[in-house]
Amino acid sequence: MKYSILRTLSLVILSLTVVLPLIAQNQDSKASSAIAGLASDIRGCKNMRIEFVYKMDNESSKIHESKQGTLLVQGEKYRLNIEGQMIINDGKAIYAYLPEAKEVQINPLDEDSQSLTPTGILADYEKKYRVKYIREEKVGVRNVMVADLIPKEGKKFFKVRIRLDTRTRQPISFAMYEKSGNVFSYEINRLDQNIAMKPGMFEFKTTDYPGVDVVDMR
């Protein structure tokens, strides 16, 4: 479960900070201007709040799962809430809290966890991925741009498909396709930038959770 949750976080940030700037480099001038504006806003914003729906499907195994989640990002810190789990990166460690089990697991920051932050992803994305532009399509009244993010080296997934509203400059959805047949998709319902956040949003204090069992893996 933890791997799936962190993968969710990685791809949400990836779609917002890496794919949009790359799409802007390869589309017509009107689309480029719109997407480049969004990319610039996101990369320069103080913080973000994202509401999304996560789905996992495997047709051959007849697996279909769906969960709602909320992600807060500020600098190198983040707070991810998804049904049954909360994950906080306070810049020093990662706290994975399971309310039903009344347990929090504390893990040290490592290369993988740091790579899930915006700065970590942007550091060397050009070496790891290339973008393939698929088409523009009509979805209801919206004009949608479709592009694939393809890893240059071996990964468990072989592409991430991005859909972007060209008028509002907002990402609509993205889906990761694994070689195993799993498809992890994410629909972004709302994205807010530079919002007021309560102090301590990126901290986990055990005193706020009486009776919690602490598993410290540091």
pLDDT in tens, the chain (218 residues): 454 555 555 666 666 655 555 555 555 444 444 445 555 666 677 888 989 998 989 999 999 999 999 989 887 788 999 888 899 999 889 999 999 999 999 998 865 555 555 445 545 555 677 777 788 899 888 888 888 878 887 777 788 888 888 777 777 888 889 888 999 888 889 888 889 988 899 999 999 999 999 999 88
Collapsing DSSP states into helix, strand and coil, what is residue 61?
coil
Q: What are the b/e assignments for 100-111, b being 16+ CB within 10 Å?
A: eeeebbbbebee
2-70+111-200 adopts what CATH topology? outer membrane lipoprotein receptor (LolB), chain A (2.50.20)
Q: Which two tokens stand for residue 177?
A: 């396709």
- Domain borders along the chain are 2-70+111-200
- Residue 10: the pLDDT is 62
Contact 47, 72 (CB under 8 A): yes
φ, ψ of residue 208 in degrees (nearest 5): -80, -5
- Residue 76: the pLDDT is 79
Strand bridging mode 171-178 / 183-193: antiparallel
User: CA-CA distance, 125 to 128, in Å (whole number)?
Assistant: 5
Q: In angstroms, how far is the first alpha carbon of the chain from the final one?
A: 20
Q: What are the b/e assignments for 170-197, b being 16+ CB within 10 Å?
A: ebbbbbbbbeeebbbbbbbeebeeeeee
